[in-house]
């Protein structure tokens, strides 16, 4: 069993839709990260969470430590949001999910 | 501001040839440095991390090695590449604690 599970693996949405990507984990963590990997491969860190909720523009990330679950929400999705979104954990070591590939269609 | 560089951006090498990928960080001192590999269709795999000059920890056994000759320079090497070494190699840095990591642009390696 993987320490980090993301769902869905692939997601296609129409422009303007509200999008949710989920991350569940099974290990103790000090922080959870959401990363965005662009089609060219470059990775950008979106959020680092240890509790509660964070918002940046149209992106919202939440974490429930008791349930070991985090969600990344994108409001009013846009084609430029198309990317792979990766959930990553820091605890005793780093753990990475395999990513959710998001395609937003105009 | 801090920046992280990797080169080359792409590389095609024959099986059995040596490898050297370089990563440098600007604008910060004593960063933690990391090498990751992302194989096609798979998640990121941590290969090496370093908390200081000459201090390298290996996460997975393989035919790759890493060195940190200077505070802000991290090098990934191999004496003889295997087909299975193909992938996308990412360098990252973070502060002293395991906080947010900042990734370089990556090197796409194809071993033929």
Task: Give the tokens for residue B49.
Answer: 């991390």
Distance separating alpha carbons of residues A50 and A12, to the nearest angstrom? 29
Binary contact (A97, B102; C-beta < 8 A): no
pLDDT surpasses 70 at B99 = no
Of B50, B47, B48, residue with least CA distance to B30: B50
Q: Which are the contacts of B60, defined by CB distance < 8 A and separation ≥ 6? A: B45, B46, B47
Half-sphere exposure of residue B56: CA atoms within 13 angstroms, side-chain side: 18
**Is the Cα dihedral B40, B45, B47, B51 positive or negative?**
positive
Q: Which residues of B touch A96 (CB under 8 A)?
A: 43-46
Binary contact (A90, B102; C-beta < 8 A): no
pLDDT surpasses 60 at B98 = no
pLDDT surpasses 80 at A76 = yes
Binary contact (A98, B42; C-beta < 8 A): yes
pLDDT at B100: 74
pLDDT digits (tens, 9 = 90+) for B24-74: 999 998 999 999 998 776 778 889 989 889 888 887 767 899 999 999 999
pLDDT at A23: 97
Task: Produce one character per residue of A73-83: b if its CB has 16 or more CB atoms within 10 Å, e if not.
Answer: bbeebeeebbb
pLDDT at B60: 75
Q: Which residues of A touch B102 (CB under 8 A)?
A: 45
pLDDT at B45: 85
pLDDT digits (tens, 9 = 90+) for A19-72: 999 999 998 888 899 999 888 778 888 988 889 999 999 999 999 999 999 999
Binary contact (A43, B99; C-beta < 8 A): no
Among B34, B100, B108, whose Cβ lies nearest the Cβ of A48? B100
pLDDT surpasses 70 at A84 = yes
């Amino acid at each position: 069993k993987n320490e980090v599970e993301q769902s869905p693996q692939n997601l296609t949405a129409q422009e303007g839709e509200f999008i949710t990507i989920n991350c569940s984990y099974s290990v103790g963590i000090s922080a959870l990260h959401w990363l965005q990997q662009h089609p060219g491969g470059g990775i950008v860190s979106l959020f680092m969470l240890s509790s509660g909720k964070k918002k940046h523009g149209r992106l919202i990330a939440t974490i429930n430590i008791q349930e070991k679950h985090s969600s990344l929400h994108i409001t009013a999705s846009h084609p430029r949001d198309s990317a792979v979104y990766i959930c990553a954990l820091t605890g005793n070591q780093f753990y990475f999910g395999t990513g959710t590939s998001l395609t937003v269609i105009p | 501001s801090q920046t992280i560089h990797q080169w080359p951006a792409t590389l095609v090498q024959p099986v059995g040839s040596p490898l050297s990928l370089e990563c440098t960080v600007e604008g910060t001192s004593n960063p933690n440095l990391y090498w990751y590999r992302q194989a096609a269709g798979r998640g990121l795999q941590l290969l090496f991390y370093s908390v200081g000059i000459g201090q390298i920890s290996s996460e997975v056994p393989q035919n790759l090695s890493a060195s940190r000759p200077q505070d802000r320079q991290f090098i990934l090497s191999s004496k003889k590449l295997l087909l299975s070494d193909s992938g996308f190699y990412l360098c990252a840095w973070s502060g002293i604690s395991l906080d947010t990591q900042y990734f370089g642009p990556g090197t796409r390696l194809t071993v033929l």
